[in-house]
Amino acid sequence: MSDAAAGAVPPARRGRQPWAVRLGLSPRFHAFCARVPGLRHIARSEGAALFDIVQGFVQSQALLALVELRVLHRLAEGPVPLSALAGPAGVPAERMAILCKAGAGLGLMACRRGMWRLTVRGAAFLTVPGLEAMVRHHPVLYRDLADPVAFFRGETQPELAGFWPYVFGAGGAADPELAARYSALMADSQGLVAADTLRMVDLRGVRHLMDVGGGTGAFLAAAGTAHPALRMTLFDLPAVVPAATARFAAAGMAGRVEIVAGSFRDDPLPRGADAVSLVRVLYDHSDATVAALLRAVHDALPAGGRIVVSEPMSGGDSPDPATDVYFSVYTLAMQTGRTRSGAEIARMLVQAGFSDVKTIAGFRPYVTSVVTAARSFNTDPQKSV
Ligand SMILES: CC(C)=CCC/C(C)=C/CC/C(C)=C/C=C/C(C)=C/C=C/C=C(C)/C=C/C=C(C)/C=C/C=C(C)/C=C/CC(C)(C)O
Ligand SMILES: C[S@@+](CC[C@H](N)C(=O)[O-])C[C@H]1O[C@@H](n2cnc3c(N)ncnc32)[C@H](O)[C@@H]1O
């Protein structure tokens, strides 16, 4: 079979490519690799990696069906035969068998001696806080990506752009019921983010932490538990306040936390904190809004005060398989913000007047990474920690 007959890029048009890419463009080399024992693993692993990309949308839709039909939940109660999954789900047994085998292919469940059971991965899926809720909201993004060419050309009006109205201080910000619903989705998923952030950032020495855009207070509650002497301020839109008040009361922290309702677009940030955190806030907003917010945080801090930015970040020059696919496309669909790299955030912090900038790559970049910085001691000698 000639290269041209196989539909590959003809050798003459391969241009100046690294030698390995030239080989990758050659169907003859593919066939050669598949034949030669020492090289066969390359053909197999590259093929499998490509197949995973090709079938990603089927994987996520199979997962959604398993969640919506509560198959994994049912298995969490113990092993069952197929009929016990098919009947309650209203799915014909022969179709449920296909879904269950897909679930097994994904490593979420397994069948032994006619009984379906949960695997460790399936158990972890059900246990990660907020993951199920995130999967259940994915149909919105899925619809937005139905015509990906039009989406990337910017010719569509993504539904996701209206999904988080409270996030942007739009109309929905005034509706406490709507805010509570979306805040719950956000807060559920904040457990891992808070844990990973606290692992990367040492808050010892911080007296008073202000969490700007702190939502219902999951991060402050975790920080306050880890540091019992910490005073805290939560700053967020008014519609988010009731849920935050309830959380701190339930955690017995009401006396240590001041909740300030306001918009960082329109209102000054409260003074008094010696550290400010922004957890999953920047990537919702445009560069202009982020630049103004970082300057406002800088001005609200005393000399030596610290800022902590924590959110999923782009890999920048080394694109990350999770954040540069999922979060970058997600924030593009939201239309108001973007997924920035640690280096970009670091640059914006310097432009806002911060120094001593440190970027810390998260050990799970799809959960969060961190950039920290400090307000210089010499920018405003009037202030002190
Ligand atoms: C020790 C031995 C040998 C065996 C033991 C076996 C055993 C019991 C193992 C347990 C394994 C274990 C501990 C597994 C733990 C797995 C974990 C922690 C998995 C975590 C996965 C987290 C995921 C997949 C997170 C996904 C996050 C998503 C999808 C977040 C989406 C966020 C969005 C859309 C946010 C939007 C916000 C906005 C609007 C942009 O502002
Ligand atoms: C993606 S959520 C993150 C919430 C929380 N930090 C977390 O990680 O779960 C963004 C938060 O920023 C808040 N927010 C958005 N625009 C805001 C504004 N103009 N002023 C204050 N808070 C704002 C939203 O209400 C929301 O709680």
Position 4 pLDDT exceeds 70: no
Q: What is the Å distance from ligand 2's center to 263 Cα?
A: 9
- The confidence band for 216, taking pLDDT boundaries of 50, 70 and 90, is confident
For ligand 1, what atom is nearest to the CA of residue 281?
Answer: 41
Position 382 pLDDT exceeds 60: no
Nearest CA to ligand 1 atom 33: 134
Q: Are strands 231-236 and 306-311 parallel, antiparallel or unpaired?
A: unpaired
Determine whether the shortest distance from the Cβ of 284 to ligand 2 is under 6 A. yes
Ligand nearest to the CA of 334: 1
Q: What is the pLDDT of residue 170?
A: 46
Nearest CA to ligand 1 atom 20: 128
Instruction: Please say whether the beta carbons of 149 and 181 come within 8 A.
Output: no
* Cα 295–Cα 299–Cα 304 angle in degrees, nearest 5: 110
Of 53-62, 130-139, 162-171, 245-254, the least confident = 162-171
Ligand 1 pocket test target in 60, 134, 136 with most atoms within 8 Å of CB: 134
- The ipTM is 0.94
Report the C-alpha gap between 324 and 197 in whole angstroms. Answer: 20
Q: What one-character DSSP code corresponds to residue 341?
A: B
Nearest CA to ligand 2 atom 19: 263
Compute the average pLDDT of residues 360-383.
84
Instruction: Please say whether the beta carbons of 291 and 347 come within 8 A.
Output: no
Position 14 pLDDT exceeds 70: no
Determine whether the shortest distance from the Cβ of 215 to ligand 2 is under 6 A. yes
Which pLDDT tens digit goes with each residue over 25-69? 888 988 888 888 888 888 889 999 999 999 999 999 999 999 999
Report the C-alpha gap between 48 and 52 in whole angstroms. Answer: 6
Q: What is the Å distance from ligand 2's center to 67 Cα?
A: 28
For ligand 1, what atom is nearest to the CA of residue 331?
Answer: 40
Q: Which residues line ligand 1 (CB under 6 A)?
A: 120, 124, 128, 131, 134, 164, 167, 189, 280, 283-284, 330-331, 366-367
Q: What is the pLDDT of residue 243?
A: 84
Mean pLDDT across the chain: 90
Q: What is the pLDDT of residue 129?
A: 87
Which pLDDT tens digit goes with each residue over 324-358? 999 999 999 999 899 999 999 999 999 999 999 99
Determine whether the shortest distance from the Cβ of 193 to ligand 2 is under 6 A. yes
Compute the average pLDDT of residues 173-191.
70
Position 260 pLDDT exceeds 80: yes
